[in-house]
Amino acid sequence: MPELSDVEGFRRYLARYAMGRRIERVEVRDRAMIRNTSPSGFGRRVQGRRFADPSRHGKWLLAPVGEQTVLMHFGMTGLLRWTAGTGEPHVHDRVIFHCSGGALSYRNMRRFGGIWIAGDDAEIEQATGRLGPDAFDVGRGELEELLGGRAGVKAALMNQRRLAGLGNLLSDEILWRARIHPRTSLARLRRRDWNRLHAEMQAVLRESIRHARVPPKKAWLTGVRDDRAAKCPRCGSSLRRATVAGRTACWCPRCQRGRR
DNA sequence: CGGCGTGTTCAGAA
DNA sequence: CTTCTGAACACGCC
């Protein structure tokens, strides 16, 4: 699930339900999900403090709690749930922040990702690694500078050190709309390609954030890509899929002409 | 049983 | 250093 737009949804969700609440107790149901300290050390650093206004950088959610920052990464199957905190937890609730008036669950089926605690910017970077600027904030000129090089365009879009937040679905959607083949080398992009790439990136992100996911609309690649024998929503050609940059990419061989 | 997936990381190679 | 590939991680669903 989680790419930039999903995590932005989680950020708003946390702000809506948990912000301002005092953390009474942290229930660590899977200690492997607390990634850079022990469950008890984690608890000591956040218990008795309140969730403040959360932020997001790429696919990372940063939730200030007192002087500390709780960092969450959602892997492929993570999400947040706010509950009354009184019933049986869900099987995949790995960490539960019991607050005054409810509980925030970090749920994650496949257990990729996890939760880190950081006391300053250096510790934040230790957890996240170097991240490029958030994709939603990047301007047209900046995009070309950030992605400079000769990598394939899909690989570059998904490289979190260059540009933070885009994953497999978002990069495919953006490239499909911009009519650029995912294997095209950055060095081959012309000015008009860069213009479309940036415009479509902004448009896709804006609409995806509005839906808190990449919307599976039939007019979008994401709405049809999972069907067998899927057809391009724009021209009706059979979509092609293959491994690009280590992921299963989906594209239209007619709209997105291949150019190495 | 085998294959697959909206993510990251590491080793190894070109 | 850059870039790419494959494997690993973990779990549920075909």
Residue A260 has pLDDT above 60, yes or no: no
Span A134-157, pLDDT tens digits: 999 999 999 999 998 889 999 999
Bases of chain B with protein Cβ within 7 A: 4-9
Q: Which residues from the 226-245 window of protein chain A have CB within 7 angstroms of nucleic acid chain C? A: 243-245
| CB burial readout A107-120, b (16+ within 10 A) else e | bbeeeebbbbbbee
Bases of chain C with protein Cβ within 7 A: 2-7, 9-12
Residues 6+ apart with CB under 8 A from A142: A133
- Rounded Cα distance, A68 and A62, in Å: 10
Q: What is the per-residue pLDDT for A140? A: 93
- Rounded Cα distance, A251 and A194, in Å: 18
Span A82-123, pLDDT tens digits: 999 999 999 999 999 999 999 999 999 998 999 999 999 999
DSSP-based three-state secondary structure for A116: strand
The CA–C1' separation of A153 and C4, in angstroms, is 13
The CA–C1' separation of A66 and B4, in angstroms, is 42
**Residue the block writes with tokens 């500390």:** A68
The CA–C1' separation of A223 and C1, in angstroms, is 39
